[in-house]
Structure 1
Amino acid sequence: MSATSPPKTTIRYMKRAIADFFWGWDKEKRKYHWASWDKLSLPYDEGGIGVRKLEDVCTSLKFKQWWTFRTKQTLLGQILRAKYCQRAHPVAKKHHTGQSLIWNFMSKNKGIAEAQIKWKINSGNSSFWWDDWLGEGPLASYCTHIISLNTTAISQFLVGGN
């Protein structure tokens, strides 16, 4: 489920299998469901049993995939950077049809994921224009003359660590 989101019908079949596990069958027919799945998937303190909704799991895995791509050096990340981000920062890269399924999937989710990522300056490896290190969004969104080829790092503006 972390590579791509399953179709809604697949999620429906998975929910049905989970419901059969919880409630089971009685003489060739399903047992009565005493609580709805939405109620059961609430946290314990809200009256549920703490089972997460499959839709929520899929959503979290989508954003985790983008986070891993942006923060870790993985083989898949290296391949995608080499293929799609040679001349542009991943945030600046536009979504185009005809690209690989995994890149299309990640590109569709990057806008929502990037809005939640806040970068710390630390060593200054973050992108000056494309990473949200001020907490107000990337600086490139406030300027019209910045091109996607600009890969300036914050460290180029630091003098003596300040």
Structure 2
Amino acid sequence: MFGAQIIHQHERYLGLPPLVGKGKKKAFHQILDQVGRKVAGWKGKLLTTGGREILIKAIAQATSMYMMNCFKLPDSLCNELNSLMRKFWWGQREKERKLAWIAWEKMCTPKAEGGMGFKDLKAFNLALLAKQGWRISQDTDSLAHRVFKAKYFPDSNFLEAQLGKNPSYTWRSLVVAIGVLKRGLR
């Protein structure tokens, strides 16, 4: 009647989904699409192993970093991203299967321990969320701390916070990282 458009899908804000409902994999599927397009565009057979290593570390693993700072990505999405990188590393194309000479978990160990230094995306996601939790717990004057404290832990500190009623997905993600943060505290 007024000429306003009906929005069927919420747009993204700063590249992040504004609402993450029950379809978490769908909300973060953009990452898989981006990495998949980039990996498909690379000519893996023309690159040296050093070139493949740099592309995986600098592009494929860094693409999802911004979202990992704010949200816990679904484990299935992390597994699919790891699979894309693993296939690119070993030179697999589409339906082709090639032999992986070393387990991906071994490839994700630091170079000093005999691995390649690739990131395990699940563990890296939790580490980034724990870093955000540390910032919230230490910088009590920040806007993020004040908002989360008012809504989720008004009578305690961040490390003692509970999930609460009707939490946002950002808060759910940070609560998962509290355990990691507690294990790392000294």
Q: Could you tell me the TM-score, scaled by structure 1's length?
A: 0.59
The residue identity in structure 2 corresponding to 1:104 is R
Gaps of 5+ in 1: 119-162
1:32 aligns with 2:93: no
Gaps of 5+ in 2: 1-67
- Match of residue 100 from structure 1: 168
Mapped contact 2:137–2:157 kept (Cα < 8 A): no
- Match of residue 15 from structure 1: 82
- Match of residue 78 from structure 1: 146
Q: 1:115 and 1:49 mapped to 2: Cα distance?
A: 26
The residue identity in structure 1 corresponding to 2:177 is N
Give the C-alpha shift of residue 25 in structure 1.
2.8
Aligned pairs for 1:5-154 within 5 A:
5-25=72-92, 29-72=96-139, 73-118=141-186
Q: Could you say which structure has the larger radius of gyration?
A: 1
What's the secondary structure of 2:70's corresponding residue? Answer: coil
Mapped contact 2:72–2:125 kept (Cα < 8 A): yes
Distance 1:46 1:65, change over 3 A: same
Give the C-alpha shift of residue 55 in structure 1.
2.0
Task: Give aligned pairs, total.
Answer: 118
Question: Relative CO higher for 1 or 2, CA cutoff 8 Å, sep ≥ 6?
Answer: 2
1:10-42: per-residue Cα shift (whole Å, max 9, x none)?
011101110122122368513322211112112
- Match of residue 38 from structure 2: none
Q: Could you tell me the TM-score, scaled by structure 2's length?
A: 0.53
Mapped contact 1:23–1:33 kept (Cα < 8 A): yes
Indicate the structure with greater helix content: 2
The residue identity in structure 2 corresponding to 1:31 is K
Mapped contact 1:5–1:58 kept (Cα < 8 A): yes
Q: 2:132 and 2:102 mapped to 1: Cα distance?
A: 33
| Identity level (%) | 23
Indicate the RMSD between aligned Cα atoms, in angstroms.
2.5
What's the secondary structure of 1:2's corresponding residue? Answer: helix
Distance 1:92 1:6, change over 3 A: closer
What's the secondary structure of 1:30's corresponding residue? Answer: coil
